[in-house]
A = this chain, B = another copy of it.
């Protein structure tokens, strides 16, 4: 419909009105963003360091869209020597697998000075985020929020008056380049616990808002309010319902969030509605998101602590703190009580109780009753020529320099290991003890999955290199949600599938395995592309903790040439699909 060809100015004007009406009725918009990624000075926890920012902001700008909208981000790499990509965590990229933003998997890293257009549809409402997916650039600060509201005319199955967005992360003072060197060194040097936890990119390292309740000699934070590391206070009115959108893009830390004196009702997990359940505190692992509803039904002449602490690892990091501040009370007035105490880091029963309390909302899509293929993935910590690695069924993932999406589509046989990694592990393996043979292999092989089949994945945890140690790993699947069918202790065995919840399992994109346990997932391979499935702990992925699922490569549409401009697909740029 070309308005100008009608000729008369009045008609053009009328035409624009008509088009606007159509637009409103359709609701869907194309939302354009021009972003530049660069390093900049920042002080996320009040101590100055270099941080990766977008358009001079850390965290990056929040994208706010409506379900059905198309997002277009022209991402320009203003780094001097590093490539960059951005992954849109939780967006399934239906029909646009090249926009998934995974270097070596869905696209070539964007070279310094170049611009890549990410164009994809946000088909479902929910609380999402985006982050770097190359080296450890996420931990360097490359992340931000992506919030998708209900399409016009549609309503959430719950009511709220207003909302807050809390993007959680962890922060190290050592640069990720130096962290990477340690992880790749022999002897191995672990990155250690984070210096700070951040809420929307803000934390306090050298001071605490609750210093007087601390056993240490840490000083009381004094903020004028304008400081970039001053906490964002949640200002509320009494007797209202607030939606808190909480997402975790931590590099490492599993977190627990509690709000003094207030219960929270969980209503969304990873962009999917869940059966409302009231909790006093909420565990959130890297890669997860939740929405909770909070009623401001407490004494309005007080303020209340929002506290976030570390779970699953012996914490050496102070709680992140901010305030829930009622409008009747000055935001500067600190509570006279101690902030909520984070549950003990190794109280796994607490963690399991929370995680298992998440069920799909009635009416949610149900899983197929059977599976076509079951892949059991044993998670082990290993050695490779003296270097410490993580491996899945004894293969530690190394990414190829030519991204899989292009090399698989074009049948380039030399781009990665042709050997398919195994669907299972040696049944005699004792998951409760350090491996007798700690050596692993390294590989870039791919799990090829038949399009539109149903796949069960059993994530099997095991003892790490040290005795009596088994860690939590939050596994994140690209391009799909999966149903979490169940969790179990010890080794998954035949018959355990009888315990699967096929009635109302939650649909998620991230699920944890608990120490020495297993987690069962089911998904339908209905999205042609090549998709990473990996531990969302960034240094663990860096150490090889992931696998690659390829499906329906022949059904992948024409890949933009910019996504192919490297390695063996460098000269495939003008080849049609």
In whole angstroms, what is the CA distance A135 to B38 when docked? 14
A40 neighbours in B (Cβ, 8 Å) = 181, 185
A41 neighbours in B (Cβ, 8 Å) = 181-182, 185
A140 to chain B, nearest CB (A): 9
Interface assignment of A137: CB less than 8 Å from any CB of chain B: yes
| 4 additional A-B residue pairs with CB within 8 Å, beyond A108-B111, A109-B111, A565-B570 | A40-B181, A113-B567, A561-B571, A571-B571
Closest to A174 in B: B50
Interface assignment of A136: CB less than 8 Å from any CB of chain B: yes
A108 neighbours in B (Cβ, 8 Å) = 111
Closest to A566 in B: B111
What are 16 A-B residue pairs whose CB atoms fall within 8 Å in the complex? A40-B185, A50-B177, A50-B178, A80-B136, A81-B83, A81-B109, A83-B83, A83-B112, A109-B112, A113-B399, A175-B175, A561-B571, A565-B566, A565-B570, A571-B571, A571-B573
Are the C-beta atoms of A111 and B567 separated by less than 8 Å? yes
Interface assignment of A401: CB less than 8 Å from any CB of chain B: yes
Are the C-beta atoms of B175 and A177 separated by less than 8 Å? yes
A window 99-153: CB within 8 A of B: 104, 108-109, 111-114, 134-137
A84 neighbours in B (Cβ, 8 Å) = 81
Are the C-beta atoms of A181 and B50 separated by less than 8 Å? yes
In whole angstroms, what is the CA distance A108 to B40 when docked? 25
How many of these chains are in the complex? 2
Closest to A40 in B: B181
Interface assignment of A82: CB less than 8 Å from any CB of chain B: yes
Task: Please give the number of chain A residues whose Cβ is less than 8 angstroms from any Cβ of chain B in the complex.
Answer: 41
Interface assignment of A39: CB less than 8 Å from any CB of chain B: yes
Interface assignment of A298: CB less than 8 Å from any CB of chain B: no
Partner of A400 from the list B113, B567, B574 (CB cut-off 8 Å) is B113
In whole angstroms, what is the CA distance A182 to B177 when docked? 17
A135 neighbours in B (Cβ, 8 Å) = 80-81
A window 62-103: CB within 8 A of B: 80-84
In whole angstroms, what is the CA distance A175 to B137 when docked? 16
Interface assignment of A180: CB less than 8 Å from any CB of chain B: yes
Partner of A573 from the list B83, B178, B570 (CB cut-off 8 Å) is B570
- 1/0 contact string of A144-187 vs chain B (CB within 8 Å): 00000000000000000000000000000001011011101100
Are the C-beta atoms of A114 and B573 separated by less than 8 Å? no
A110 to chain B, nearest CB (A): 10
A134 neighbours in B (Cβ, 8 Å) = 81
- 1/0 contact string of A395-406 vs chain B (CB within 8 Å): 000011100000
A561 neighbours in B (Cβ, 8 Å) = 570-571
- 1/0 contact string of A377-411 vs chain B (CB within 8 Å): 00000000000000000000001110000000000
Closest to A112 in B: B401
A573 neighbours in B (Cβ, 8 Å) = 570-571
A401 neighbours in B (Cβ, 8 Å) = 111-114
Q: Which of A134, A177, A399, A567 has the most CB of B within 10 A?
A: A177
Are the C-beta atoms of B570 and A39 separated by less than 8 Å? no
Closest to A51 in B: B181
Closest to A78 in B: B184
A569 to chain B, nearest CB (A): 10
In whole angstroms, what is the CA distance A40 to B84 when docked? 22
A175 neighbours in B (Cβ, 8 Å) = 175, 177-178
Q: Which of A40, A135, A181 has the most CB of B within 10 A?
A: A181
In whole angstroms, what is the CA distance A289 to B570 when docked? 39
A38 neighbours in B (Cβ, 8 Å) = 184
In whole angstroms, what is the CA distance A112 to B111 when docked? 11
Are the C-beta atoms of A81 and B80 separated by less than 8 Å? no
In whole angstroms, what is the CA distance A567 to B134 when docked? 19
A111 neighbours in B (Cβ, 8 Å) = 83, 108-109, 401, 566-567
In whole angstroms, what is the CA distance A571 to B542 when docked? 31
A542 neighbours in B (Cβ, 8 Å) = 80
A114 neighbours in B (Cβ, 8 Å) = 401, 566-567
In whole angstroms, what is the CA distance A112 to B136 when docked? 14
In whole angstroms, what is the CA distance A109 to B84 when docked? 14
In whole angstroms, what is the CA distance A400 to B114 when docked? 9
Closest to A575 in B: B571
A26 to chain B, nearest CB (A): 36
A495 to chain B, nearest CB (A): 43
Closest to A85 in B: B81
In whole angstroms, what is the CA distance A185 to B180 when docked? 26
Are the C-beta atoms of A570 and B567 separated by less than 8 Å? no
Closest to A84 in B: B81
A507 to chain B, nearest CB (A): 33
In whole angstroms, what is the CA distance A561 to B569 when docked? 12
Partner of A181 from the list B39, B136, B565 (CB cut-off 8 Å) is B39
Are the C-beta atoms of A81 and B137 separated by less than 8 Å? yes
A113 neighbours in B (Cβ, 8 Å) = 104, 399-401, 567
A413 to chain B, nearest CB (A): 17
In whole angstroms, what is the CA distance A40 to B187 when docked? 12
- 1/0 contact string of A553-570 vs chain B (CB within 8 Å): 000000001000111001
A82 neighbours in B (Cβ, 8 Å) = 81-83
